[in-house]
Amino acid sequence: MRALKFRGAWDVAIEDVPELHAEGPDDVVVDIAYTGICGTDLGVVSGSYPVAVPGTTLGHESTGVVAEIGPEVTGVAVGDRVVINPTPYCGTCRMCRTQRINHCVNKHGTESGISYDGTYADRYRTTSAFVHRLPDHTTLRAAALTEPLTCVLSGVRKIQPPSLSAYTYVFGAGPLGLLYTWALTLKGLSPVVVETAPARLEFAKRVLPEGVTAHASLEEARRDHFGDERAPLDVVVDTTSGLLERLYTELACGGAYMSIGLKSKQVTIDAMHIADRSLSIIGSIDSLHGSFDEAYHLVTTGRIPVDRLISHVVPLEEYKEGFATLGCDIDGRTLGGATTESCKVLIASAPPAGER
């Protein structure tokens, strides 16, 4: 079977590897249909998120069809359409028992597709707790956004806005920025989106919740959306990694700043301000207890129309084009901004005939 292997920075390739089969009693083997390209993948491939284990099959935002199960599996059957939770946790270590499964100490790394073999492949092997059967009306394409949404919902849980009227900003209109925008809207907030890349901005404007506006700069958002050039920053979600130092001085007292980008950046902020102005500087990654189920609920009920965020679908063998769409030129070894109108790009491994 095919698997897209990470060998080192800028060194990835599709390799022919032995086909996966159910070996343990609780194993579930999935024929992969779709895997979303995550910003993390761009960081891994470009070497800017140096946590991936060389030799690992990349890919973690995935759906497919159950191909084989172990003898003790009862929750899913061969032929079931499923969404995969790629983030293992043991459920028994101290971090798991204290509601922090995303930092389970027994998982030896981060998640499938980074520390363990992932889903840019024809098959993937996991255990029964990490697959969720999809209802017929939910497409395998849409459900590939369940994993990024669970990360978003984990972050949204940690944001405690001072009021539902809080001035709320989402910086970056990539998939995570747009999913944050949708999730914050469901939470009752009214976010505005700021995106400096023109192509991203144009795509975002077509897929935002009703009443939400997107702008090319903070200044434009303040002026055009709030009608106030000094509109306060009550709640900020920064998906870019790059804005904390600049924006924290402008946070309103009691404001919250959520940083979820995975680009390394050293910043200097004044600890006195954090106390004196009651600021919350928050980070978030991966799933918390129950957030995968929340994401599954919001995707399968259509409360968040995640399929609108899918801009491109490319076959596995054309993965370089998929990455290039997001500004990652693997052969040229450059990572820049997306220059075409794009959002979530899916890699198609072997989608069933009815869902291509």
Kindly list the residues in this chain that would bind Zn ion in the complex (CB under 5 A): 38, 40, 89-90, 93, 96, 104, 106
- Let me know: does 250 contact 273? Beta carbons within 8 Å: no
Q: Which is nearer to Zn ion, 98 or 217 (CB)?
A: 98
Closest to 327 measured CA to CA, from 312, 316, 317: 312
User: Taking the complex as a whole, how short is the minimal distance between the CB of residue 85 and Zn ion, in angstroms?
Assistant: 12
Residue whose CB is less far from Zn ion, 146 or 168: 146
Q: Provide CB contacts within 8 A for 275, sequence distance 6+.
A: none
Q: Would you say 12 or 192 has its CB closer to Zn ion? A: 12
Nearest-approach distance from CB 313 to Zn ion, in angstroms: 17
Rounded to the nearest 5 degrees, what angle is found at the Cα of 322, between the Cα atoms of 180 and 125?
80
Nearer to Zn ion, 118 or 255 (CB): 118
Please tell me the distance from the alpha carbon of residue 155 to that of residue 246, in angstroms, as a whole number: 21
Dist. CA 85–CA 65, nearest whole Å:
14
Residue with smaller CB distance to Zn ion, 100 or 187: 100
Closest distance of CB 348 from Zn ion, Å: 18
- We find the least distance from the C-beta atom of residue 84 to Zn ion, in angstroms, to be 12
Cβ at position 44, least distance to Zn ion in Å: 10
Measured from the CB of residue 283, what is the shortest distance to Zn ion in angstroms? 15
Supply the minimum distance, in Å, between the C-beta of residue 49 and Zn ion: 11
The pair of structure tokens assigned to 337 is 């901004």
Which residue is listed with tokens 């395998």? 140
Comparing CB distances to Zn ion, the nearer of 279 and 306 is: 306
Nearest CB to Zn ion, comparing residues 5 and 344:
344
Q: To the nearest whole angstrom, how small is the minimum distance from the Cβ of residue 113 to Zn ion?
A: 8
- Which of 89, 292 has the CB closer to Zn ion? 89
Name which of 103 and 223 has its Cβ closer to Zn ion.
103
- Residue pair 349/32 in contact (Cβ under 8 Å)? The answer is yes
> Do residues 193 and 204 lie in contact, with contact meaning Cβ atoms separated by under 8 Å?
yes
Q: 211: which residues sit within 8 A by CB, 6+ positions away? A: 190
Query: Closest approach of Cβ 161 to Zn ion, in Å?
Result: 25
